Structure 1
């Protein structure tokens, strides 16, 4: 690898490290402000985002989205429900299935947790289509590489 290419790779690793550290710090601050664990906060964010899109989230889909087991998701949902942050309701399309939705308290907590400067969508919307496509390809390749090494 040439020096210029190595320099570019090093710069990219530095930028990714900076992003990772910023996210870790953001999650610590959220935990301090809300009393939510990282998994609880991530789950509540997904439930709130689905609600804003007019949907509920099934426990199975939520577990897959945040990468935990069905047993763990049940305990997590119980915790959020006890705090009054989510409700469980029967799916209108399948009476055997449950959907999770945020309560007004859950919505308020996530809004306060997100705070200023955490609107990732606004940053992404300012990118042009080519930048977004390149970013998506890069992040998928990186995720696959990390996943391969983690096995």
Structure 2
């Protein structure tokens, strides 16, 4: 090895998992006439909803690193497909909010539900402390890759 020891094995496993999830996302996109960026947008919007973040087109564009025109085209496409809806913010009528439609959630669960169920089932083989260690590790990896992407 190159002196990094067992950690390199984890890097390779993370890469393999990432590739598999990316392939699943691409297959989902192809089946539903979506672009991979559409899938990333839906994931961002679902994550925002879970976090209580009020997603706007500007926010979504920042998350996906799209310019204003690209974000508008993306949201228009997702709205046309009835996967996302625009609504006016009730506290600031000038602001447009984005929400994932139930149709998108149903399509996602129909496609990804089995892999989610499998991951949850596998997690039952681990002690709570082990799961916490995995969570801390993955959170640190995510923060590291986010920093690298931002620089």
Structure-2-length-normalised TM-score: 0.75
Structure 1 match to 2:38? 40
Aligned equivalents of 1:84, 1:10: Cα separation in 2: 43
Aligned equivalents of 1:47, 1:145: Cα separation in 2: 23
- Residue 83 and residue 142 in structure 1: after superposition, are their counterparts in 2 closer, same or farther (change >3 A)? closer
Structure 2 match to 1:12? 10
Give the aligned CA root-mean-square deviation in angstroms: 3.1
Structure 2 match to 1:134? 137
**Bigger shift: 114-123 or 23-32?**
114-123
Q: Is the 8 A contact 1:85 1:105 kept in 2?
A: yes
Structure 2 match to 1:26? 24
Structure 1's unaligned 5+ residue stretches are: none
| Deviation of 1:66 (Å) | 2.3
Q: Is the 8 A contact 1:47 1:56 kept in 2?
A: no
Larger RCO (alpha carbons 8 Å, 6+ apart): 1
Aligned equivalents of 2:37, 2:74: Cα separation in 1: 8
Structure 2's unaligned 5+ residue stretches are: none
Q: State whether structure 2 residue 28 is matched by structure 1 residue 66.
A: no
Aligned equivalents of 1:13, 1:49: Cα separation in 2: 25
Structure 1 match to 2:107? 109
Aligned equivalents of 1:70, 1:120: Cα separation in 2: 38
**Bigger shift: 82-91 or 130-139?**
130-139
- Residue 100 and residue 25 in structure 1: after superposition, are their counterparts in 2 closer, same or farther (change >3 A)? same
Query: What's the secondary structure of 2:86's corresponding residue?
Result: strand
Structure-1-length-normalised TM-score: 0.75
Aligned equivalents of 1:20, 1:138: Cα separation in 2: 12
How many pairs does the alignment contain?
145
